[in-house]
Structure 1
């Protein structure tokens, strides 16, 4: 494989990865828009709910940050429970299918983000 072919493959992988990041964020925003009632009804006993509602009204950036908060407390609920922001009963009663969907989306977002950083480091250090 020549250098030019490897470079073209690298560029194509970067474009695909960037498109994947955009698609994952669009799916995340779509879920935030369509399932906000489910999220609010699932967190009735938690103090984090008021912060999520404020983020919801913060425009697109607030909604992206809101989804990050939701990913965070679904991934590591013990931290939020210890801080008193989240009720353990809310996590137990959170719909399991929706929780699985969100955690899967979070996993793919992290994988794609790490690949994006890795490709960027390869480009910065001129490996390819």
Structure 2
């Protein structure tokens, strides 16, 4: 069985996207295991994070959920500031390099998930010849 050019391009995109998601997970775990205490110290008045603080003892999945929650709060702070779940002092005291890493991680996972969803829609629509039954 040989793939046509369109199938090869879509397969390449899917493989790169899957590799990106695995890399993203590894980077989140690294941050979770190395900087959790620092991130929690900077967000000690943030009720949205303090409700999730027990996740740091939840193994790898807990670390992923905690880092994901923190990155969401740092990336979209207006939502949490309006609801009173984030202190503006906590946000301004958060270290800029770490905040930048978390924002990049958040937007990269959003992008990677959008690509994989688009890939799924493409396959489901029958655009890829291998998807026909």
Residue 22 of structure 2: aligned partner: 22
Could you list the runs of 5+ residues in structure 1 that have no partner in the other structure?
none
Q: Distance in 1 between matches of 2:104 and 2:20?
A: 14
RMSD (CA atoms)? 1.8
2:76 is the alignment partner of 1:81: no
Could you list the runs of 5+ residues in structure 2 that have no partner in the other structure?
129-133
Residues 54-97 of structure 1: CA deviation (Å, up to 9, x unaligned): 12122222222212211221122122223222211000111011
Q: Distance in 1 between matches of 2:39 and 2:55?
A: 13
Which aligned runs of 4 or more in structure 1 are off by greater than 6 angstroms? none
Contact 2:71 2:102 (8 Å CA) reproduced:
yes
Structure 1 position 49, deviation (Å) = 4.0
TM-score, normalising length: structure 1: 0.88
Contact 2:71 2:103 (8 Å CA) reproduced:
yes
TM-score, normalising length: structure 2: 0.85
Residue 119 of structure 1: aligned partner: 119
Residues 31-66 of structure 1: CA deviation (Å, up to 9, x unaligned): 111011210221122233432321212222222221
Higher relative contact order (CA 8 A, sep 6+): 1
Q: Distance in 2 between matches of 1:7 and 1:117?
A: 17
Alignment size in residue pairs: 127
Q: Distance in 1 between matches of 2:66 and 2:24?
A: 15
Residue 8 of structure 2: aligned partner: 8
